[in-house]
């Protein structure tokens, strides 16, 4: 196990975590952005399984949120406003009339304090940041920490923690775009995905949840027995079409098994499993990824990656009956997601 630290411009640093089995993950202190994840295939060939920019300076704006740490609230907040304890808080409308991923100055734009660590069977970096009361329109002074951890079991573990001095919305995630074919050779259409979920949130034309929880049975949203992502991308159902011919929906986990998500790519033999204590996730199939961006391996195109954004749903700010996103002063926000890479020959 080892960690390499590379100094970049204006205080940016890139940390590369390496284990003893050929896996390496690189991340920035800027935005907590994962820039690469190098993972062996069934023949031992190590390739990048995350989509990211070729030039590190392109992460400064990063409109696609490649690999970024997202917060204070991951996802869309309807009308760029919410009510809490009788007060209405107005946020930046950076996605039409709505608020997306914490706004243009969200956690993906923060230069985080970092503390690397290393021992026999794991290596990692702790990122920390103190958000001021009113920053970005959100109430409360908040101390946030996120730990990126790589183990010798090829686990990439993300541990999120936070405390606040006022009630405030908080739900954090990472916006990594996975592509198990390696080096972006193929789109994710043939990725076989299994999700421990029989319910998802219906979207309106602005990609805002309507509050309706839909039973996924016998639809292109039922991944309990596994299916190709192409099934929904080409399904031409109303909900897949609304998302730009694919998925951009919140799935509520059943928590009937330890692994919430399993992803397989047949040609490489790579398998990704996801375990989390979050109540659900947004699965996004890069439906709006524009063509022609300069990436590590070639240029971008639609459906080149798939995101598994484990989190609570911000729709709970406007609709009852959904997992909440409000953190109170006497609580500690503590969430964990584990991405494990393996081979199936």
| Active-site residue (options: 99, 175, 198, 303) | 175
Q: Is 291 a catalytic residue?
A: no
Band of pLDDT at residue 14, cut at 50, 70 and 90: very high
Q: Give the pLDDT of residue 92.
A: 98
Tens of pLDDT, residues 102-125:
999 999 999 999 999 998 899 999
What's residue 236's pLDDT?
Answer: 87
324 has pLDDT over 80: yes
Report helix, strand or coil for 118. Answer: strand
Q: Counting Cβ atoms within 10 Å, is residue 221 exposed (0-12), middle (13-18) or buried (19+)?
A: buried
Asked about 309 being catalytic, the answer comes back as yes
**Using CA atoms, how far apart are residues 104 and 303, in angstroms rounded to an integer?**
24
The confidence score (pLDDT) of residue 214 equals: 98
pLDDT at 345 over 80: no
Complete domains list, the chain, with CATH:
2-343 (2.70.98.10)
200-255 tens-digit pLDDT: 999 999 999 999 999 999 999 999 999 999 999 999 899 999 999 999 999 999 99
Beta-carbon contacts of residue 301 (< 8 Å; ≥ 6 apart): 187, 289, 291
């Amino acid at each position: 196990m080892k960690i390499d630290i590379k100094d970049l411009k204006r205080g940016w640093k890139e940390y590369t975590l390496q284990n003893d089995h050929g896996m390496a993950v690189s991340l920035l202190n800027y935005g907590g952005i994962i820039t690469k994840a190098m993972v062996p295939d069934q023949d031992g060939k190590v390739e990048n399984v995350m989509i990211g920019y070729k030039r590190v300076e392109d992460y400064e704006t990063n409109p696609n949120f490649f690999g970024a740490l997202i917060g204070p609230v991951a996802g869309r907040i309807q009308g760029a406003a919410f009510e809490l304890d009788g007060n209405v808080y107005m946020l930046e409308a950076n996605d039409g009339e709505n608020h997306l991923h914490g706004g243009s100055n969200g956690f993906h734009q923060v230069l985080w304090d970092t503390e690397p660590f290393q021992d026999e069977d794991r290596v990692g970096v702790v990122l920390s940041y103190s958000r001021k009361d009113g920053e970005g329109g959100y109430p409360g002074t908040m101390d946030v920490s996120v730990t990126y951890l790589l183990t010798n079991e090829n686990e990439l573990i993300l541990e999120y923690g936070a405390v606040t001095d006022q009630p405030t919305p908080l739900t954090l995630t990472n916006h990594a775009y996975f592509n198990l074919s390696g080096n972006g050779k193929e789109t994710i259409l043939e990725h076989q995905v299994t999700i421990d979920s029989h319910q998802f949130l219906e979207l309106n034309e602005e990609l805002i949840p309507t509050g309706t929880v839909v039973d996924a049975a016998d639809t292109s949203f039922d991944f309990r027995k596994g299916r190709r992502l192409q099934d929904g991308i080409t399904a031409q159902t109303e909900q897949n079409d609304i998302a730009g011919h694919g998925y951009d929906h919140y799935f509520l986990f059943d928590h009937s098994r330890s692994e919430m998500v399993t992803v397989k790519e047949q040609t490489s033999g790579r398998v990704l499993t996801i375990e989390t204590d979050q109540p659900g996730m947004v699965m996004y199939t890069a439906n709006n990824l524009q063509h022609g961006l300069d990436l590590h391996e070639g240029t971008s195109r639609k459906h080149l990656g798939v995101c598994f954004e484990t989190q609570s749903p911000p729709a709970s700010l406007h609709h009852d009956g959904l997992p909440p996103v409000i953190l109170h002063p006497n609580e500690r926000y503590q969430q964990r997601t584990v991405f494990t890479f393996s081979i199936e020959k």
